[in-house]
Structure 1
């Protein structure tokens, strides 16, 4: 197999000169560059990326662990991460986890073996304390409040805008409010923030009958609303966890020929703008960009991005 030493021997130049030509560096004359390039072309030589990565001690790759791409939050987050990675000349590998702890452990084991220069957890199934033990192998960034884990974090500050949204509903006289969530309160930072905001505004914890979990897509939103309707429960408002999901809720009530409850969405999607729902913009792309920058720099920081309640009424 042809290597850089073959190119150097046949061209008559040093390995360092060949390396400068290959990496488009300065300090090489036009004549030298042309002579070396001629040999490279004749040999059809390309550098071995694996060997190059080993020599410089970096893969220039960031592993991004995410449960799915069904919810717009993760889509927008990945858009921010990949845009920032392009600017920083890093590659991004998406690592699907489905919130399964064992799968996440395999990614951490690969990280320990230097398969990635850093990891970003957009969400997680493992305890933060366990994830934090792998920081000795390189930078790990999470996209939620780090609590006392010691992990670097870039995340959306949610509770304040959740309180704003629910206060708006209460001021309008909405007392029976359903909450739609991706995951149960016990395991989700976002669901916990939603429930805490409800307690702040309404003075009590949300009851199980007013909650719907595993709601991720527009179809899930429609099914959740259909279950509410079938059970005979009536709600004056529904706080959905995306604008698309709110559209699914709206569809269920319209198809049942029932009055549509007041709806608030999240993630500031086109569907919400067209339907003129109030929404919450968590500025996920900015969160993703900040997470990538922390992963590349290795800086130990927590960066909270303020969310924005957009009231379209």
Structure 2
């Protein structure tokens, strides 16, 4: 395999001079550059990108760990990450995890072996304590509040907006309020924030039958709607975890010929605007862009971006 030493030998110039030409450096005369480039063309030489990255101590590649892309939380984060990466001339590698700890450990070990300059965890199955132990091998950035762990993070500050949403429902005299989330209470910071906000506003525990998890798509929303529509004591309002999910829930109620409860969506999707329902915009594209900025910087900081309750009319 042709290498830089072959080019130096055949061109008659030093390895350092050949290196300057290959790396588009100055201080090389036009004749010297032309001579060396002629040998490069003759040998059809292409620099080894892996070796070049190792020599400069960076891969210019960021791994993004995400369980799936079936919910706008992940797609919006990803849009923001990729937009910022393109602007910074970084490459993005998608690392699907399905929240499986062993897969996440595999990606952490790849970081340890310098396959990536950093990992961005949009969500995780491993505990934060385990993620933190890999910081010495490279940057690890979260898309959630790191709390007591010194991990850089960019995330939406959701709690205050969830409190605002439940207060809005309470003022409208809704007492029987259900919550839809993607993951169980014990596994999800988002679910904990939603339930905590409910309990803060209503000053009581959320009845277990009013928390429905495993909701990711509009079809899941329809499944939840079928469940709630057949309850003996109906719900009057639902905080869903997506505008499209609210659409699915509404469809199930209409199919069951039941009055549709008051719905609040999330992620400010076009479907919510068309329905005219309130929604919570977490500005996840901005969160993703800030997460990428943290991944390529040396700033060990946490950036909390406020969410926004939007009342569509």
Q: Deviation of residue 261 (structure 1)?
A: 1.0
Q: Is the 8 A contact 2:68 2:97 kept in 1?
A: yes
Change (3 A) 1:260 1:30: farther
Aligned residue number for residue 186 of structure 1? 186
Query: 2:131 & 2:54 partners in 1: Cα distance?
Result: 25
Equivalent residue runs for 1:168-183 within 5 Å: 168-183=168-183
Q: Is the 8 A contact 2:229 2:258 kept in 1?
A: no
Aligned residue number for residue 295 of structure 1? 295
Aligned residue number for residue 210 of structure 1? 210
Query: 2:229 & 2:34 partners in 1: Cα distance?
Result: 75
Aligned residue number for residue 308 of structure 1? 308
Aligned residue number for residue 118 of structure 1? 118
Aligned residue number for residue 61 of structure 2? 61
Q: Is the 8 A contact 1:138 1:298 kept in 2?
A: no
- What is the Cα-based RMSD across aligned positions, in Å? 1.4
2:146 is aligned with 1:146: yes
Query: 1:141 & 1:152 partners in 2: Cα distance?
Result: 5
Q: Is the 8 A contact 1:161 1:280 kept in 2?
A: yes
Q: Deviation of residue 265 (structure 1)?
A: 0.5
Q: Deviations over 1:37-89 (max 9, x none)?
A: 22222211110111112211221111111111111001110111111111222
Aligned residue number for residue 281 of structure 1? 281
Change (3 A) 1:35 1:187: same
Query: 2:59 & 2:257 partners in 1: Cα distance?
Result: 57
- TM-score if structure 1 supplies the norm length? 0.96
Query: 2:28 & 2:162 partners in 1: Cα distance?
Result: 59
Q: Is the 8 A contact 1:83 1:289 kept in 2?
A: yes
Change (3 A) 1:272 1:19: farther
- TM-score if structure 2 supplies the norm length? 0.96
Q: Deviations over 1:64-122 (max 9, x none)?
A: 11111111001110111111111222111111111111111111111111111111111
Indicate the SS of the match to 1:265.
strand
Query: 1:26 & 1:85 partners in 2: Cα distance?
Result: 28
Query: 2:3 & 2:22 partners in 1: Cα distance?
Result: 12
Q: Deviations over 1:213-252 (max 9, x none)?
A: 0100111111111122234451111111011111111111
Query: 2:232 & 2:5 partners in 1: Cα distance?
Result: 78
Equivalent residue runs for 1:1-313 within 5 Å: 1-313=1-313
Indicate the SS of the match to 2:201.
helix
Query: 1:10 & 1:240 partners in 2: Cα distance?
Result: 69
Q: Deviations over 1:183-233 (max 9, x none)?
A: 011110000100111011111121111111010011111111112223445
Indicate the SS of the match to 1:204.
coil
Q: Is the 8 A contact 2:247 2:271 kept in 1?
A: yes
Indicate the SS of the match to 1:294.
helix
Query: 1:14 & 1:277 partners in 2: Cα distance?
Result: 70
